Amino acid sequence: MIRRPLGSTGIDVSVLGLGTVKIGRNQQVKYPTGFDLPDDKAVVELFELAHSLGINFIDTAPAYGSSEQRLGELLPNRDDWVIVTKVGEIFEDGQSRFDFSYDYTVQSVEQSLKRLKRDMVDVVLVHSDGNDMDIINNEPVFDALESLKSRGLIKAHGMSSKTVEGGCWVVEHSDVVMATANLEYDEERPVLELAEKLNKGVIIKKGLQSGHADSASGGGGVDAAFRHILTLPGVSSMIVGTINEHHLKDNVEIVNAITGDHRR
Q: Does residue 92 form part of some domain?
A: yes
- Which residue, among 40, 61, 3, 55, has the nearest Cα to 240 in the 3D structure? 55
For the four alpha carbons of 168, 169, 172 and 177, in that order, the dihedral sign comes to negative
Tell me the one-letter amino acid at 32: P
Integer Cα distance of 106 and 147 in angstroms: 9
Q: Does residue 68 form part of some domain?
A: yes
- Which residue, among 217, 146, 149, has the nearest Cα to 183 in the 3D structure? 217
What integer pLDDT is reported at residue 161 of this predicted model? 98
Q: Does residue 26 form part of some domain?
A: yes
| Cβ pair 249, 46 in contact under 8 A | no
Per-residue pLDDT averaged across 144-149, rounded? 98
Q: Does residue 32 form part of some domain?
A: yes
Q: Does residue 104 form part of some domain?
A: yes
CA dihedral 169, 109, 98, 243 (to 10 degrees): 90
Range of the domain at 117: 3-190+198-243
Q: Does the pLDDT at position 263 exceed 60?
A: no
CATH code for position 12: 3.20.20.100
- Which residue, among 153, 70, 64, 51, has the nearest Cα to 105 in the 3D structure? 153
Per-residue pLDDT averaged across 255-264, rounded? 78
Neighbours of 94 (CB within 10 A): 8
pLDDT tens digits along 228-240 = 999 999 999 999 9
Number of domains, the chain = 1
Q: Does the pLDDT at position 264 exceed 70?
A: no
pLDDT tens digits along 166-219 = 999 999 999 999 999 999 999 999 999 999 999 999 999 999 986 556 545 445
Which residues fall within 8 angstroms of residue 44, CB to CB, at 6 or more apart?
74, 76
Q: Does residue 95 form part of some domain?
A: yes
259 pLDDT band (50/70/90 cuts)? very high
Q: Does residue 258 form part of some domain?
A: no
Q: Does residue 260 form part of some domain?
A: no
